[in-house]
Amino acid sequence: MSRGNPLSGAVIAAPAERPRDHELDLYGLTHPGLVRDENQDHFLLGTVHPQVVIHGTSLPEVDRLPTRGQRLATVMLVADGVGGGSDGGQASRLAVEAIMGYVSSTMECCHAVVSGSDTQLFAALRKAAAEAHAVVQRQAAAADLPAVMATTLTLVVAVWPSAYVLQVGDSRCYFFSEGTLRQVTRDQTVAQDLVDMGVLPAERAASSPYRNVLARAIGAAEATPEVTRLDISERGSVLLLCSDGLTKHVSDEEIAGHVMSMQSSEQLCRSLVELALARGGTDNVTVLAGRAVGGG
């Protein structure tokens, strides 16, 4: 439906409706792989709502009271611990916990986004990454670890009709829309840095010995995040997050093919994890998918 602008006579398309909670198709799956004994990946999916907690009332049937408001945001997060010991798993767990400590405090930022300003949310996301970095570094210092304790961190905060993608490391976020899959995040690896500087041809990055050497990571010497905004207003568009346990074995073209034929987010995650395992499963593998279904 369209409406005319009485000042200019231009026709402006009415904005699509925000997807309701039951129209969200979200799923996440993680597997240790076929080589490693421990799964150092952690993930989280959630929705953020304003909520009233009732501590006392004389009213009967409290369960019928409208205590939860309209969804403010949807959260998707992947953290992939760095290193072969248990310290990587602890780092990824600490990072997820630290980030989620910021979710409730970003509710005001989410309201601001709905009102048309996302400056506060950008700042809050960068602050959340800095806090996760500090938490991991403090834990490493307290444990007097001989090696770096670190993790990747890829976070999506979706505040309709936009999604805000934060990344430190090389866990990826893909966005599928209008029949095309694109990698939203940039791998923060030494190999990718060399490609960007023109030192290494892009086609050789996948075989470079530096392809898995992180230039940035939560807990490492450098952890500056990159934050990207996406328009997710198109129904059926898909956000996909994954650790490099998937992309070591499955190409972007194959991921796109699976997304195009997906039946549900659960089916998509399971099929991609199974494909990575069928090809050796040399690392922990985690896949998250989210989309809005229905007609709006």
Residue 63 pLDDT: 83
DSSP string, 96-132: HHHHHHHHGGGHHHHHHHHTT--HHHHHHHHHHHHHH
Helix, strand or coil, per DSSP, at residue 231: strand
pTM: 0.90
Residue 3 pLDDT: 39
Cα(185)–Cα(173) distance, integer angstroms: 6
Residue 233 pLDDT: 93
Is the distance from CB of 205 to CB of 193 less than 8 angstroms? no
Which amino acid, residue 281? Answer: G
Q: Is the peptide bond before 161 cis (omega within 30 degrees of 0)?
A: yes
DSSP code for 244: H
Tokens of 184: 């939203």
Which residues, including other chains, have CB under 8 Å from residue 288's CB and lie 6 or more apart? 26, 27, 28, 29, 43, 45, 76, 77, 78, 240, 241, 242, 269
Cα(291)–Cα(76) distance, integer angstroms: 11
pLDDT tens figures, 54-82? 888 888 887 888 888 888 889 999 999 98
- 10-residue averages of pLDDT along the chain (296 residues): 39 64 96 95 91 85 82 93 80 92 66 68 89 92 81 94 95 97 96 92 89 93 95 95 97 98 98 98 97 80
Which amino acid, residue 110? Answer: C
CATH of 22-32+39-45+69-292, one of 3.20.20.20, 3.60.40.10, 3.40.50.10880, 3.20.20.150: 3.60.40.10
Residue 84 pLDDT: 58
Cα(103)–Cα(76) distance, integer angstroms: 11
What residue segments make up the domains of the chain, in order of their start? 22-32+39-45+69-292
DSSP string, 249-295: TS-HHHHHHHHHT-S-HHHHHHHHHHHHHHTT--S-EEEEEEEE-S-
Cα(44)–Cα(75) distance, integer angstroms: 8
Is the distance from CB of 218 to CB of 91 less than 8 angstroms? yes
169 CB burial (10 A radius; 0-12, 13-18, 19+): buried
